[in-house]
Structure 1
């Protein structure tokens, strides 16, 4: 007996935390040292002078929305480098609700000053010279060349596109001219806003999801409790009538899929002759109102094909794998017995849900602080691409005393806010920190899932290997399995989670590169 205890103590001494788990804990705690950013830099828009829009106690307190002077410049390659449109950005109290050019305003200003009073709110603060020549106004970027009907999306004025008879328009027009009589199309506006709306609409949708969750959390809790009760009843019925319940479930699913296919077909026939129903989902983009997608024929076609493929797959499996169904019935019956003896396993997914929530929160907060940990960086913005000082770093306080703006090739240059960053080694490698943060998030997520699987496997193993059930089942099998997993298997779980996380990270990066390269370079590169 003494020798057995010594052997057991030796095994316990050898099964300590492995180096992989220590490395895992070190990586998780490492980013706490970088949490010195300002989330306001990410959550609130910043104008060309580095001031927050809508910030209390500043001149922009009553101007919570960011306005782009020339949003068409957002198609410039510079936006891919600095994540900032190379155009003047001002904080405004509201977005434009009409189409107008600076030339039109000058003509109408002679009839009524109200036209200038409306247009000047989208000009630089303090500018009050409607008779200044258009060329000089646009050179100095005192006012925008034109304004288009826009709507505020997450505190940013973006063009308001409307679809009429399948044609996308702005202000009831598909083509328009700016103050210099340069012709533009709605397609150019769509390309300019595509990169912005892709990010902004996602943030807007996320905020609405959080708001809806805050309003309906009580109903969500009631739904979770009801689902728990239904699950317990389902497990009890599986133990008594596993075969009948399984076949009833399969037949019910087939009937529901058939009804769904018929419903999609009816909706598709109703939308066949409706104007605007042939617009693709890609053209509509990400919308928080799901009713928009229900008015598109493509939505019902996708649903119909998905339901038909699902029903065909189930029917083929029933035809060719009918003998396996009997094995599945036996497994379900045995699984229901195991869960009946260890009912605490029904509640363990709640622990996993909390761990996953913590992982997501940790990643999101760290990403926000990393993104906002830099200082304001100002760049020289010049209307002439031949300016040798273009895109170089500048100081707005001393820029007017330099010879940059007076240079013949840099006339009209301005020192405008570009992004938050810095010249230190930390800021130069900030992207690598974000990638590392993503790797840590995947590592934490996979570790949480692996811990759940290991815990449940150990709990059900104690049931399976018990000779006389339930007398030989140890007390609190789930807690005992969780303790063993934490004490002896954290290193193995962390190492396995690391391998999966690295593969997932490589896949994410490759998918990102494939998306960016598609249509920009040769097909062979993007296909590879």
Structure 2
């Protein structure tokens, strides 16, 4: 027992037959493969049952404030469209969970013109009101509007999913209408036009309103959305520039990887030093001259730029960042050299198989497919069973149907109810409805939805693992090919076929472990939400510790899985054996692994930061200044498109560098194994590059 344990911690012995990823290998983790196939089969069976038994239209059809389904239920059979009295209240962050807090009625057709009651009282018959209100004169109309039984105003709308929504295409024509109006109606139309600039604008405003009632915050949100609408073409140009910059950066790294990394380090240092100097000057200037702190006539960006506290915060942040970077450079300079060498190796590997740069697109497509399939199955499952209807409004009504046994809250059938009650006594029963309550789902419904959630987690983690192992197989093949000219031309295709043929079970095993951990975290979040109403500090502390533990456990398992996939791609062993080999190999080099992993991540972050800042500076030059002749006068804040471009640039750069990250991790494990297997002799030559051999003072002895 102790002997086997000692052997586990010994270096990997030399194997004369080993020359990289095995070609002749067997299937791994067959039991888990069978379990995964059975699971997928069950998921497909549930999907077939849901698609044949469910009807999403039952849930998607709009319902008014009384619960009647527009165009379906008997009392609104001829009114297929849903109208909102105040659509501005329907775009808050809590609306998907609480519903839209405004009166909603079914209508025969959506409004085809602008209407504002105080200025169009003579046309009160155009009011859209609740079903029990029909004003016959201006006085009754005014009373109904004040009691919120009629909509005070509405805009020209078009049906979208049978809901009357503002037509964005009519924005310009509505602006023209404003010029033909007079008096208070102009300000009212401007107010509604600004509110309905776009549905996104409504969402932004109400989301801000969820956190604050500040009118300034609402105006800022509106201005930002308007700037995004007016500068969409600038943002597209910026995205194109970002993609081109990432490609150029990676091409340059093929030959000048070390130089690019050092330039990134120096550039970040220079930026941080300049930031510290500039923020210090501005803080001292504003501190000594309080007159400059007057912000009455400035917009939000200018007002914050003239506050000394703003520059103090920026000074502290930039100083801390500068200190961290300097400490890393001083104490980890040797590790940085090793990290740069690995980045350079990764750059060579990526440029040798350039198709891997675009490979992440395929896992993302599969991820989107898994998400879309899960949503469809969940939606169809939610509509399985029979719809349930109950009587509403009978308690306070003189409807003669009560004589036939109908009572408030009683289960009813719409057709029979309409036949019994909606005939001669229609006016007396107009407020009584056979209301749709919910779907009477089967007993197994919650278990089927839980299975669908589990399938989504397992499927998404499986797709992610598949992409990682294919990339690991490509880069491992590149490293263990002694003469790089012998690298297979279709390396990505070969790796894909090899993984799909032999290691689906291993991917299913690894992704299942992460799925179970994530499922536990979801359950803890659910329990936490349920226990919040009790406000127990001890319970909150225990749950917080549990959530923290499982979050750390998931991160650790993902690290183990990633390295297990690399070892499996090389040696073709099952998941447990690959995870064990990877873990022991890393433990034998624990200091080098810990430092190098973080340093490499730091270098990649600097690369992404340099690209983002470069594209941001170029965007600022073109879209936020007048130096290039581009008209930017229509923007409220010139920096809005620049900020959006920088965010998108960072995401795009992260996509490209994710391939580099996988390349470095794979080559690092191959490098560690190369050091243990070989000694540089003619019988056991190193596979590492000359650059790596030079850094580690190793060399291949000539025969």
State the TM-score, normalized to the length of structure 2.
Answer: 0.46
Q: Distance in 2 between matches of 1:523 and 1:276?
A: 47
Look up the match of 1:161.
Answer: none
Secondary structure of residue in 1 paired with 2:512: helix
Task: Summarize deviations over 1:80-115 as a string: whole Å, max 9, x none.
Answer: 7x97989764346389987x9xxxx9xx9xxx9637
Instruction: Indicate which of 457, 472, 475 corresponds to 1:442.
Output: 457
Residues 359 and 444, structure 1, Cα contact 8 Å, conserved in 2: yes
Over 3 Å counting, the alpha-carbon distance change for 1:86 and 1:329 in structure 2 is closer
CA contact (8 A) 1:379 1:416 kept: yes
Decide which of 352, 356, 364 is 1:341's aligned counterpart: 352
Flag structure 1 segments of 5+ consecutive residues without an equivalent: 1-7, 159-170, 172-189, 196-208, 279-290, 403-410
> CA shift at 1:52, angstroms?
5.4
TM-fit CA distance, 1:488? 1.2
Alignment match, 1:362: 373
Deviation sequence 1:232-267 (CA, Å, 0-9, x none)? 2233321xxx1x321211232344567778999989
Residue of 218, 228, 249 corresponding to 1:230:
249
> How far does the alpha carbon of each residue in 1:439-484 deviate from its partner, in whole angstroms, 9 at most, with x for none?
3222222111101111111222222223x32255455333222222
Measured after TM superposition, the shift of residue 373 of structure 1 is 5.3
Q: Secondary structure at the match of 2:467?
A: helix
Moved more, 26-35 or 492-501: 26-35
Q: 1:59 to 1:262 in 2, by over 3 A?
A: farther
In 2, the alpha carbon distance for the partners of 1:510 and 1:414 equals: 44
Does the CA contact (< 8 Å) of 1:67 and 1:156 recur in 2?
A: no
| Aligned: 1:457 with 2:472 | yes
Separation in 2, partners of 1:9, 1:21: 24
The structure-2 alpha-carbon separation of the partners of 1:401 and 1:452, relative to structure 1 and needing over 3 Å to count, comes to: same
Task: Output the CA distance in 2 between the equivalents of 1:51 and 1:150.
Answer: 19
Equivalent position of 1:498 in the other structure = 512
Corresponding position: 1:328 with 2:339: yes
- Which residue in the other structure is 2:491 paired with? 477
> How many residues are matched?
428
What is the alpha-carbon distance in structure 2 between the residues aligned to residue 347 and residue 473 of structure 1?
19
1:5 alignment partner in structure 2 = none
Aligned 1:20-39 pairs, distance under 5 A:
20-33=35-48, 34-36=50-52, 37-39=54-56
Judge conservation of contact 1:35–1:366 (CA < 8 Å) in 2.
Answer: yes
Which residue matches 1:114? 122
1:55-74 matches, cutoff 5 A: 59-60=78-79, 63=81, 65-67=83-85
Correspondent of 2:111 among 93, 99, 105? 93
Contact 1:46 1:52 in 2 (8 A): no
Change (3 A) 1:522 1:318: same
Change (3 A) 1:423 1:360: closer
Q: 1: CA distance between counterparts of 2:278 and 2:153? A: 38
* 1:381-392 equivalences in 2 (<5 Å): 381=392
Aligned to 2:500: 486
C-alpha contact 2:385 2:440 (8 A) present in aligned 1: no
Match of residue 45 from structure 1: 62
Deviation, 1:490, is: 0.5
Contact 1:67 1:157 in 2 (8 A): no
For 1:227, what is the secondary structure of its paired residue?
helix
| Alpha-carbon displacement from aligned partner over 1:128-148 (angstroms, at most 9, x marks no partner) | 5679999xx99xxxx845757
Q: In 2, Cα distance between the equivalents of 1:97 and 1:300?
A: 49
Counterpart for residue 353 of structure 1: 364
Among residues 500, 504, 521, which one is paired with 1:507 in the alignment? 521
The residue that corresponds to 2:200 in the other structure is none
Runs (5+) with no aligned partner, structure 2: 1-22, 167-187, 189-205, 212-227, 287-291, 397-405, 422-428, 544-703
**Equivalents in 1 of 2:322, 2:255: separation in Å?**
28
SS in structure 2 opposite 1:425?
coil
Taking the aligned partners of 1:329 and 1:122, their CA distance within structure 2 comes to: 70
- 2:256 is the alignment partner of 1:245: no
Alignment match, 1:282: none
CA shift, 1:150, in A, is 8.0
**For residues 361-409 of structure 1, what are the alpha-carbon distances to aligned partners after superposition, in whole Å with 9 as ceiling and x for unaligned?**
3234334444455665444445989xx976664444517958xxxxxxx
* Aligned equivalents of 2:310, 2:39: Cα separation in 1: 44
| Contact 1:271/1:277 (8 A) holds in 2 | no
| More helix, by proportion | 2
Q: Pairwise CA RMSD of aligned residues?
A: 6.2
Aligned equivalents of 1:359, 1:12: Cα separation in 2: 25
- In structure 2, relative to structure 1, the CA distance for the partners of 1:462 and 1:374 (3 Å cut) is same
Q: Distance in 2 between matches of 1:517 and 1:94?
A: 49
C-alpha distance in 2 between matches for 1:272 and 1:439: 57
- The whole-number CA distance in structure 1 between the counterparts of 2:460 and 2:232 is 22
Distance in 2 between residues matched to 1:384 and 1:315, nearest whole Å: 76
Matched-pair contact (CA < 8 Å) for 1:45–1:66: no
Distance 2:334 2:458 in 1: 40
Deviates more, 1:223-232 or 1:449-458: 223-232
Structure 1 contact 16–487 (Cα < 8 Å) conserved: no
* CA distance in structure 2 between the partners assigned to 1:126 and 1:323 by the alignment: 81
SS at match of 1:65: strand
Structure index of larger Rg? 2
Residues 29 and 505 in structure 2, CA contact (< 8 A), matched pair in contact too: no
Shift of 1:50: 0.9
User: Which sits farther off after the overlay, 298-307 or 361-370?
Assistant: 298-307
1:255/1:469 Cα in 2 relative to 1: closer, same or farther (>3 Å)? Answer: same
Equivalent of 1:127, from 121, 131, 134? 134
SS of residue matched to 1:422: strand
Q: CA shift at 1:64, angstroms?
A: 5.3
TM-score (norm 1): 0.58
C-alpha distance after superposition, 1:464-511 (max 9, x if no partner)? 223x32255455333222222111110121122122123223434544
CA drift at 1:328: 0.8
